[in-house]
Each structure stands twice: as structure tokens, then as C-alpha cells.
Amino acid sequence: MAVVQTIGPLHPWDEIFSDESRRVVQTGEDLFSPGEIADRVYLVEEGALVETRADKEGASHAVGLLGPGSIVGIRMTSAGGALHEVRATALTPSTVRSLERDIFLHEALKHPELSSALLRDFAHRTEITRRLTDACHQATTGRHVLDLLEAVESTFGHHNDDTIGVPPALLERMSGCPWVMVRRALGELRDQGLVIVDATGVHLAHHA
């Protein structure tokens, strides 16, 4: 299983997120879901998470990929209420620390280095969201799935063919496609040698 690097001790957020707030989110477990109160902000210390959002028809799509150093839980409902509008789910066992939202915003605005780090995080996330949105516009389910896997790999990297495996159930949620279509696409992609499906999930295939 791929291991996503842990943030270093000099990361700008380290001082405001306490060690006592640390928790582990297991693969497939939600850190939070739509409609829950968004009164805390999370720092990803280790691992990988995906954010998904349901559209007007109820289909879910990936809108964010979050790794070590990412801030999670900033998004709220468009109506301005302090409720989560996306679902954050662990792609791998992930360690996070948390802080009350009001305290986080106060500290981020008070310290220029934290404000700059938050802006960089937003810019990075915007680019990932753009790539995930482009994947949704692919003409076939197979191409959609490949683009999602490529986005995961480009975000979290791979080493010696060791990549994050996306659980099939999460891939269905990330793509917004019915499971029967995802399953058929995975079978075709596997037959073409483009993906590998194993106990840890679905990976892009890399050939020497």
C-alpha cells in the first residue's frame, strides 16, 4: 500500500493544531459529511482524503483531493450556514489534527505566514478541482475513471509502482456513475492493461 508522506515539523500550521486533537480516519471512513456542523477545521498530517459533492440530480462527484499539509473543512454551505456541504472521505488511513474554526480563522488572519500558506493551499486546491471537473466531462465512463486515477496519482505521486489504490465504492462516488457502469469500465480497462484492481483498490497500471 502506498504511504503518503507526513508533513515536516516546520510546517506553518504545526504550532496552532495541538497534538491532543490528533485522530486517525480509516480508509473509506468519512471525516465529515454534508449537513454536519462545520465548527472545526482539520490539518491533514498523513494520508489522503477525497472530497465529494452531490449535484442537483443527487449524483456525487469528486471536487477535492487532500494530502499532508492540506486544510480541510473550510467550505460551508452557499447559504452561509456553518454546515458542511461536501463529504470528506479517507482514501488511505489518514491522520488529522483539528482546531475550532473561529480560532483557526483568527490565527490565519493574524499571522501573515499563515495567511500566505492558506492562499497557497486554496490555489493548489483550485487547480485540483479544475482537473476533477474536467474528468467529469469525458465522453465515456472508462475515460472518466482513468482521469480520476490520474488526478489521484498526480496529486499524491507514485514510487516504484506503489500508488494509492482507490476503493471501488469510492470510485463510484467520485465519478457519479452508477456502479454497473463503473464495474463494466473497470473490467474493460483491466483487460486493456490500463488499471490494476487488487485488495487495496484500483490503481493505474505502470509498465516498464
Question: Is residue 59 over pLDDT 50?
Answer: yes
| Most confident segment among 52-61, 91-100, 111-120 | 91-100
Confidence tier at 77 by pLDDT (50, 70, 90): very low
Question: Is residue 104 over pLDDT 50?
Answer: yes
Average pLDDT over residues 150-168: 79
Q: What value, to the nearest 5°, has the Cα angle with vertex 36 and ends 30 and 37?
A: 125
Mean pLDDT of the chain: 86
CATH 2.60.120.10 residue ranges of the chain are 19-133
Return the C-alpha cell found at 39: 465548527
The amino acid occupying position 26 is Q
- Third-level CATH fold of 137-204: Arc Repressor Mutant, subunit A (1.10.10)
Return the C-alpha cell found at 131: 482537473
pLDDT at position 109, please?
85
pLDDT at position 122, please?
87
What is the CATH number assigned to the segment(s) 19-133? 2.60.120.10
pLDDT at position 158, please?
64
Question: Is residue 7 over pLDDT 70?
Answer: no
Burial tier of 208 (Cβ tally within 10 Å: 0-12, 13-18, 19+): exposed
> What distances in angstroms separate CA 160 from CA 7, 68, 163, 203, 206, one per listed residue?
21, 20, 8, 13, 9
Residue where the block lists cell 482546531: 99
User: Is the pLDDT higher at 163 or at 22?
Assistant: 22
Average pLDDT over residues 56-65: 89
CATH 1.10.10.10 residue ranges of the chain are 137-204
Confidence tier at 79 by pLDDT (50, 70, 90): very low
Q: What is the pTM of this model?
A: 0.87
